[in-house]
Amino acid sequence: MEIDVDVLIKKIPAINVFNRAKNIALLSQFYIITGGDEYLRNIFIEYVISSIFCKDQEKPCRKCLECQKIMNGTNVDVVYFGNDKENIKKEQVQKIIETVITKPFEYNEKIVVVNNFENVSENNQNLLLKILEELPTYVIVLFVSDSMLKILPTIQSRARIITLTNFTNEDLREIFRNENCLKQIECSNGKINNIYKFLANKNFTKYYDFATRLCEAKHIDLLEIIAFFEEYKNDIELILEIIQNIAESKISAGLNQSYLIKLSKTTTKQINLLNTNINKNIIIDQIPVMIYRSENANIRDTI
Ligand SMILES: [Zn+2]
């Protein structure tokens, strides 16, 4: 899969903040990075860290030894935590503190990245407060989180918060211009993670065609909808997401038909129910009828 990283970088507004990274003295010591998807956050962080260590004039060059070491994870003074998406436990929080207070081994700077920071409990976040108040001058700390809601206000107030935004479909077409993935882009909701997820699914085109027919009000028969969801029930969340994203991209392109709004609301609601409810089967049984009703909604009976 070939993507144009140079084009991608230019499409990230928050990068401008870090063009100052060429002068480390101007950087803040503590950032929280949020928004966008995981792929975008990783690219952004790699850019920032490479900028700090790169020896080239044009930072980051992504070619010099220092840039290489960031890309292949062998810079001993860049330390990552929280990569496995599991709860970050007390021992790991203590390890984070220890790492922060230990001087760099090889360089003048040290970077500590904590991914999935939303998985740190409130109690454990409190343990970090003191060190965040008086960070040693050699360290830059980056907390990465897909939700600010789970981060204590006392932590947030000490950080510089960088919020990344999703790409437009136009941006994505440019970034992926060497790849055949226009359909994946159309239902990606601006997220590169989604494009990879759809490319990896061998039934994607079937789901896309089905979702497109729904979103073009082709009035699919209820029995066909039931049969479709029965056949592909292992991917039910993915199918709902594709319908939702296609409906939303049509709405944002100015097609405000009531059935599209209804399809978008119904799929959002069903996805939430599937995520929060223990008894998934009951919800799965309702989905075809809910989709059928939404697709056939007209002005009279919507919203
Ligand atoms: Zn470099």
Share of the chain above pLDDT 90, in %: 70
The residues that bridge with 140 in the sheet, in sequence order, are: 111
Amino acid at 65: L
- Residue 252 to residue 53: CA distance in whole angstroms: 41
CA separation for the pair 289, 196 (Å, rounded): 30
Least confident interval from 30-39, 192-201, 256-265: 256-265
Whether the per-residue pLDDT at 298 is higher than 70: the answer is: no
Q: How far is the CA of 164 from the centre of ligand 1 (A)?
A: 23
**Cα(109) to centroid of ligand 1, in Å?**
16
Cβ neighbours of 148 (radius 10 Å): 16
**Span from the CA of 58 to the centroid of ligand 1 (angstroms):** 8
Query: Counting Cβ atoms within 10 Å, is residue 259 exposed (0-12), middle (13-18) or buried (19+)?
Result: buried
Per-domain boundaries in the chain: 5-165, 201-301
ω before 60 within 30° of 0 (cis)? yes
Give the number of other Cβ atoms within 10 Å of residue 232's Cβ: 15
Contacts of 253 (CB under 8 A, 6+ apart): none
C-alpha of residue 139 to centroid of ligand 1, in Å:
20
* pLDDT at residue 301 tops 60: no
pTM above 0.85, yes or no: no
pLDDT tens digit sequence for 145-203: 988 999 999 999 999 999 999 999 999 999 998 888 999 999 999 999 999 999 999 99
**Ligand 1: centre distance to CA 18 (Å):** 15
pLDDT at 302 over 50: no
Q: 54 C-alpha vs ligand 1 centroid, how far in Å?
A: 4
Q: What tokens does 93 get? A: 């929080």
CA–CA gap between residue 118 and residue 115 (Å, rounded): 8
Do the Cβ atoms of 136 and 100 come closer than 8 Å? yes
Contact (Cβ atoms closer than 8 angstroms) between residue 26 and residue 175: no
What is the residue type of 183?
Answer: K
| Superfamily name with CATH number, domain 5-165 | P-loop containing nucleotide triphosphate hydrolases (3.40.50.300)
Tell me how far the alpha carbon of residue 70 lies from the centroid of ligand 1, in angstroms. 9
Cα–Cα dist 250/169, whole Å = 12
Residue 92: closest CA among 119, 130, 132: 119
Instruction: Indicate whether 299 pLDDT > 90.
Output: no
CA of 42 to the centre of ligand 1 (A): 17
Question: What is the whole-number distance in angstroms between the Cα of residue 63 and the centre of ligand 1?
Answer: 5
pLDDT at 183: 95
Q: Measured in angstroms, how far is the CA atom of residue 71 from the centroid of ligand 1?
A: 10
